[in-house]
Amino acid sequence: MNKFKKILAVAGLLAVTACSGVHSNSEIEALNDAEAVGSPFTKYLAAEYRDYANQEHYKEYDFPDALHFARKGLAAANGEVVMPEPLDDWDLNKNHITEMTEARAQLVDVMENGARDVAAELSAVAQARFDCWVEQQEENWQDNDISNCKNAFYNALSKLQGLVKPEPVPTVAIEEELPAPVTETVVEPVQVPLEQAMFIVFFDWDKNKLSSGAEDVLDAVADEVKGRTDVSKITVSGHTDSSGAKAYNEKLSKRRAKAVKEALVARGIDSNMVVIEAKGEADMLVETADNVREPANRRAQIGLE
């Protein structure tokens, strides 16, 4: 591509992204002006996301990702404990997902064991660098940025793991008298009360297709219903996270509930027993700010009556 054509191409790209750029700019400026509240961890995390959102907007011209991280920063500045990026929200290849899944699990584990309190600033750095690694890895073209974010994350994680260690499992002293072995008895299975029989299936972002894990859950639902005589109604409530427009999310939640109903009917459940509800963004499992992708909220709940 010659220089003149390249300039035209860049100009066209900037024209297309102008609206999102203006919108993300307002969110970033709101974050820049925000006075963070909450715990030391949420305050440090808000500052990390503020710096990264500014970099993505003003240096990288990546307006959509700048907007995303500005919103996470605003949530943190408001005192909310924002989680590291869920990997199924990003277009990553299998090898990267395998490594990042383990890395995220280690990060969440050390934080849940007190790292946010013991080392608030280092915990915020670890989470921000993990999110940076995810975002850069999806783009997969700035090798230095990928390497810098990844290495900084692992360095922070290693330090956190040295500070926060799981409590040792108590062992029985040799000289201590051990209880006599218990004779194995056969316990007949007891059906749970009908009002406690609740099942949940989860969905990928902006999807209503059932995963293999969801299919397994629905197998269990069908078996449970067929094994009981007290079920007269099955209620399927579809839900979404808060990303996207509310009107769209209500329709998406209905499609999710409908997909579950069709799967139950295919498993031999009477269609007249199954009632669907579209909850949209309401009744979140994990409370988030608006426009936050949260896997736990993308679900359908199945209750028996």
Domains of the chain: 14-163 (no CATH), 194-304 (3.30.1330.60)
Sign of dihedral through CA atoms 112, 118, 122, 125?
positive
Average pLDDT, the chain: 83
Residue 247: count other Cβ atoms within 10 Å of its Cβ: 9
Sign of dihedral through CA atoms 71, 72, 74, 78?
positive
Q: Cβ neighbours of residue 131 under 8 Å, at least 6 residues apart?
A: 52, 69, 72, 84, 85
pLDDT confidence of residue 178: 60
pLDDT in tens, 160-188: 998 886 555 455 554 555 666 665 555 45
* Alpha helices, DSSP H, located in the chain: 3-16, 18-33, 40-54, 63-77, 94-110, 116-118, 120-139, 143-163, 212-226, 246-266
Whether the CB-CB separation of 146 and 129 falls below 8 Å is answered with no
Residues of the chain below pLDDT 70: 1-24, 165-192, 194-196
| Cα(202)–Cα(88) distance, integer angstroms | 12
pLDDT confidence of residue 168: 54
pLDDT confidence of residue 2: 39
pLDDT confidence of residue 130: 97
pLDDT confidence of residue 190: 55
Whether the CB-CB separation of 237 and 277 falls below 8 Å is answered with yes
Residue 280: count other Cβ atoms within 10 Å of its Cβ: 20
Strand, coil or helix: 38? coil
Phi-psi region of 206 (alpha: psi -120 to 50; beta: other; left: phi over 0): left
Q: Cβ neighbours of residue 238 under 8 Å, at least 6 residues apart?
A: 252, 253, 254, 255, 256, 257, 258, 260, 276, 277, 278, 279, 300
